[in-house]
Amino acid sequence: MVAGIFLVTTALSGIWFGSLVDRYRKKTMMQASSLVSLAFYAVAFTLYQLTAEQTFANPASRSSGGPARSRCATS
């Protein structure tokens, strides 16, 4: 699932980012890209720190991305 999200995100942002590099100086765009990446990592780290530790301790927890359990009765 993560690989698919990465693939789609890269495919969709690659053309747009490439056009920015063609239009503006490469060094400027790479620095801007680094700052945006840093901001995303900072947000992710903040969310990680604010999430309860028990959420990550239970692999079946829905909020930690574990497998969803079906409430259907099996016959």
Taking the C-alpha atoms of residue 29 and residue 23, their distance in angstroms, rounded to an integer, is 10
- pLDDT tens for residues 33-49? 899 889 999 999 999 89
- What's the confidence (pLDDT) of residue 12? 87
What is this structure's pTM? 0.56
Please identify which residue in the block is written with the tokens 């009765």: 73
* 8 Å CB contact between 42 and 49: no
Per residue of the chain (75 residues), give pLDDT as tens.
788 888 998 888 888 888 888 899 989 988 998 998 899 999 999 998 998 888 778 777 666 555 555 555 554
